[in-house]
Structure 1
Amino acid sequence: MTRKSDDTRTRNGAESTNAAGDEEGALAASSAHPSDEMLPFLNNFHDIFTTIGILILSGGLGIGVVQLLSGIGFAAGSLAWQIIAILLLAGTALIYWGISAVLVGRQRRILPGVVLSLAFTGSAALVLGWLYYLGVTELWQVDPEAFDAAFEAGASDASIREQVDAVLAELPLAVRIFPVVAVLAALLPVLVYYRSFRLPFAGGLTGVALVALAAATYLVADPYAFVVHLPLINLLAGLALFLAGLVFDMRDPARTTRLSGTGFWLHFFAAPTLLGAAVNATYTGWRLDESDFADPAAAGGPIGAMASGESGEAVALAAVTLAVIAGFALVSLLINRRALIVSGLITAGISIGVLVSQLGLGAGTVVAVTLLALGGVVVILGAAWNPVRRVLLAPFPRQGPLARLFPPARGLAG
C-alpha cells in the first residue's frame, strides 16, 4: 500500500513537473516570435549592471589621468608633457582592451562591449592622432604659424573657390592630409576591435569609418568640390551603409547570429544619413552654391532646415521628411528591419510638430498631439508588424535570393 502510494505520488509529481515544464515552454514560446529581431545591444540586466561599473571606472580613469598630468611638474603643452599624456592614454586604451577580452571576448557582454569599443577606439584614435601631430611639428618641423600664413593668403575679395585654392597652396602636404589621418586613426582601432571580438556594434562603426575614409579622401583632394557636392556625398554615404547592411542581412535572413547584429547597426547609422540627404536635397538641391555656404539650414540637416526656413518652407520640408520616413517604414517592413524607423523617430516627431503647429494650437497642445500621433503609429506598427509584412510580401517568393533579401513573415501575431 505504501509502495503504491509512493508510486502514485511520484507519478503525479512527474506529471506536475511535466505540466509546469510545458507551461513554461508555452510562456517562452508566446513571448518571442520567429521574425522578431535579436537585441543587438543588450543580453540581460547583468549587461546594464556591468555597464554602470564600466562607466564609473571610466570616470575614475579620466580623473586619474588629469590628476597625474597636473602633478608631474612639466609645463602643459611641452614635449615631455605631451609624451607622458600619450603614454597615459595608451595605458587607458590597454586597460579597456583587457576588460574587453574578458567581458566581450569570453562572456559576450553586448552593452558593455558597446561602451568599451567606444572607449578603446576613442583612446587609441587620440593616441594615433596625437603621435601624428608630434611627427608633423617635431620631426617634419612644420611651423604652427604656417596655418596663420595660409589663411591670411586666402583672405581676399576673390571667389570662395580661389580663396580655398590659395589656402591649400600655402599648407604643407602633411597638414592637408590630416582629415584622412584622423579617420584612419579611428578606423584602425575599431577594425582591430571588430576582428578580435566580432562585436556587431564595432562592425557598424567599422562601416561608418570606411565611408568616412572615402569622404575624407575626397575632401583632401578637392575641399571646394566636397562642400559643393555635400548633399550627394551624404546620399552616397547613406546608401553605402544601407547596402552593406543588406549584405549582412542576406547572410542571416533568420536574424539569429552576429551577422544580423552588424546589419542592424549598419542600418541604424545609414538611416539618419539618408534622411538628412533626402531632405537637404529638397531644400538646396543636389549641390550647394556659394550663397548656401553661409546658410545654417544648408548644413544643419532636416532639423536645421525646418528650424531655419520660413513657415511655408518649413511645412514643405516637414511633409517631405514624413514622406521619406514613410518610405523608410515600407523598406523596414520589407527587409524586417526596425532600425530604419527608430533612427528617424526624432526627426519624424519634429516634422509632425511643425505640421501640427500650423493649426494655431498652443505649444502644449502641439507637443501632446505630436507625441500621440508618433507614439500611435509606432504602437500600431509594433502590434501589426508581421500581418502587414505578410500582405506586403505576398508577391515575393518564399525561397531563393529574394527571400533572403525580404525574409518571409512567420508567426500569427505581430
Structure 2
Amino acid sequence: MYSESDLEAAVAAGALSPQAADALRSHVAAQRTTPAVDEEHFRLLTGFNDIFVAIAAAILLVAVSWIGNDLPPHIDYNGPSPFAGLFVAGTAWGLAEFFTRKRRMALPSIVLLLAFVGGTFAASGVALALAIGERTLDNNGPVAALVAATAAATATAAAWAHWRRFRVPITIAAGAAAAVGVVLGLIAFAVGDTTSLRDILLGFALLLGIGVFLFAMWWDASDPNRQTRRSDVAFWLHLLAAPLIVHPIFSLLGLTDGSATAGEAVVVLGVYVAFGLTALAIDRRALLVSALAYVLWALTDLFERFGAVELSFAFTAFIIGSALLLLSAFWHNARRAVVRPLPQGLRAKLPGVDRTIVSA
C-alpha cells in the first residue's frame, strides 16, 4: 500500500514521473468510482508494522518516564520529576531519527512527535514549578497560568525544531496547539482570578480556533490538488480548529454543564449543519469528525427531554450514523451543490469538483 507521501517522494527522487503518479492516482480513484480530488488522502498506516512499532515505542516511553520520575527533585516530595518528561522527549527524538527520518513510518512518527512535544511541555513545566517554589504556586492561579504559558512556549519551540528536522505533518498542528496554550495562559495571567475568567478564555479560544482554521486554509490553498505533504498538514490543523471553535460555542450555550434547553440543543444542531456545509465546501471531513462528540451530546440531551431516556443515545447514534453514511456515499454530489453557487473568486480557492488532477 502506497501513500501520497510515498508517491511524492518517488517523484522527487525521479523514480516516477509526475505524469505517471497522476495516472496512478486517477486509476485508483476510478476504481473507487470517486473523483481523486474528493478522496482526502490521509496517511496513518503503511502496514501492521506501524502498529507494532507504535505499541513498542509507547511501552518504552512509559518505561523511561517511570524511571525518570523516580529521580529527584520532585514536586511535593512524591510528585512529578522533570526528568520524566525530559527522558520521554529525548527518547522520542532518538527513536524518530530512525523510524521517522529513515523508515518514514506514519503512525510511529505521530506517536513519537506527540511524546516529544508533550515530554518537553511536562519537563519545562515541572522544572519551572520547582524553580518558583511550591508555596508560590499554591492557590495562585495567575502564577500557575504563567508557568503553563511558559511551558507551552517551550513546547512550541520544540515542535518547530522537530518540524525542521523530520517534517511530520502533525507537527504544525501540535505547535499550533501549544501556541494556543501560550496565548490562553498569558490571558489567564493578565486577567487574574475573576469570576468571568472562564468566559473570557472561551471567547479567546473561539477566536484562536478561527485563526487556526484560517491557517489551515492557507496550507490548503498552497496545495489545491491535495498531492503533497502540505495537504496532510492542513488536515491536522482542521482537526485542531474544529474543537477550538465548537467547544467555546457549546460551552457558552451551557451544553457542557448540563443546563442546555431544548432550543439551545437545536442551535447546536444548526451549528453542526453549518460545519457540514463548510466541510463540503473545503472538502475536509475532519471538521465533522472533531465536532461529532458535541452534536451527539446535544441530540442525546434533546431526546432525554422528550422522555426517551433509555434509548436516547441509541436514537442519537442511529440518526447521526445514518446521516454521515449518506453524506459519505453522496459526498461528491453534495459538494457540487454547495460549491457551484459560490462566487467565482471563492470557488477558485477551493478544491475543484469536476476537474481531474493535473501536475503542477
TM-score range, shorter chain: 0.7 to 0.9
1:191 has 2:160 as partner: yes
The two structures, once aligned, show a CA RMSD in angstroms of 3.2
Q: Partner letter of residue 112 of structure 1?
A: P
Written as runs of structure 1 = structure 2, the 5 A alignment for 1:7-406 is: 29-31=30-32, 33-35=35-37, 36-65=39-68, 69=71, 86-87=82-83, 89-137=85-133, 144-146=134-136, 177-223=146-192, 224=194, 226-281=197-252, 283=253, 297=254, 302=255, 304-305=256-257, 308-309=258-259, 313-363=260-310, 365-396=311-342, 402-406=346-350
Could you tell me whether the CA contact under 8 Å between 1:176 and 1:220 is conserved in 2?
yes
The Cα shift of 1:350 comes to 1.8
Could you tell me whether the CA contact under 8 Å between 2:50 and 2:106 is conserved in 1?
yes
* Structure-2 separation of matches of 1:232 and 1:37: 31
Could you tell me whether the CA contact under 8 Å between 2:86 and 2:123 is conserved in 1?
yes
**Against the structure 1 CA distance between its residues 89 and 360, is the aligned structure 2 distance closer, same or farther, given a 3 Å change threshold?**
closer
**Against the structure 1 CA distance between its residues 177 and 366, is the aligned structure 2 distance closer, same or farther, given a 3 Å change threshold?**
closer
The Cα shift of 1:89 comes to 4.5
Structure 1 stretches lacking a partner, 5+ long: 1-24, 138-143, 152-166, 284-296
Corresponding residue number in structure 1 for 2:19: none
Could you tell me whether the CA contact under 8 Å between 2:296 and 2:320 is conserved in 1?
yes
* Structure-2 separation of matches of 1:147 and 1:34: 54
* Structure-1 separation of matches of 2:190 and 2:76: 33
Q: Which has the higher contact order (CA 8 A, sep 6+)?
A: 2
Identity within the alignment, %:
26
Deviations 1:338-359 (A, max 9, x none): 0110011121122222222334
The Cα shift of 1:146 comes to 4.5
The Cα shift of 1:176 comes to 7.0
Could you tell me whether the CA contact under 8 Å between 1:315 and 1:355 is conserved in 2?
yes
Could you tell me whether the CA contact under 8 Å between 2:303 and 2:309 is conserved in 1?
no
Q: Partner letter of residue 263 of structure 2?
A: A
SS of equivalent residue, structure 2 residue 36: coil
Q: Partner letter of residue 147 of structure 2?
A: F
SS of equivalent residue, structure 1 residue 106: coil
**Against the structure 1 CA distance between its residues 147 and 122, is the aligned structure 2 distance closer, same or farther, given a 3 Å change threshold?**
closer
* Structure-1 separation of matches of 2:308 and 2:95: 53
The Cα shift of 1:53 comes to 1.9
The Cα shift of 1:397 comes to 6.7
Deviations 1:293-323 (A, max 9, x none): xxxx5xxxx3x23xx21xxx43122111111
Structure 2 stretches lacking a partner, 5+ long: 1-25
Instruction: Select between 211-220 and 95-104 the one with higher mean Cα deviation.
Output: 211-220
SS of equivalent residue, structure 1 residue 405: coil
The Cα shift of 1:221 comes to 2.1
Alignment TM-score, normalising by the size of structure 1: 0.70
Could you tell me whether the CA contact under 8 Å between 1:268 and 1:343 is conserved in 2?
yes
* Structure-1 separation of matches of 2:274 and 2:74: 53
The Cα shift of 1:206 comes to 0.9
Could you tell me whether the CA contact under 8 Å between 2:66 and 2:84 is conserved in 1?
no
Corresponding residue number in structure 2 for 1:291: none
Which is helix-richer, 1 or 2? 1
Could you tell me whether the CA contact under 8 Å between 2:29 and 2:36 is conserved in 1?
no
**Against the structure 1 CA distance between its residues 374 and 189, is the aligned structure 2 distance closer, same or farther, given a 3 Å change threshold?**
same
Alignment TM-score, normalising by the size of structure 2: 0.80
Deviations 1:127-162 (A, max 9, x none): 22233334334xxxxxx44556xx5xxxxxxxxxxx
**What is the count of residue pairs matched by the alignment?**
328
Could you tell me whether the CA contact under 8 Å between 1:246 and 1:405 is conserved in 2?
no
* Structure-2 separation of matches of 1:75 and 1:376: 54
Could you tell me whether the CA contact under 8 Å between 2:145 and 2:186 is conserved in 1?
no
**Against the structure 1 CA distance between its residues 411 and 219, is the aligned structure 2 distance closer, same or farther, given a 3 Å change threshold?**
same
Instruction: Select between 180-189 and 27-36 the one with higher mean Cα deviation.
Output: 27-36
* Structure-2 separation of matches of 1:316 and 1:402: 33
Could you tell me whether the CA contact under 8 Å between 1:325 and 1:348 is conserved in 2?
yes
**Against the structure 1 CA distance between its residues 370 and 91, is the aligned structure 2 distance closer, same or farther, given a 3 Å change threshold?**
closer
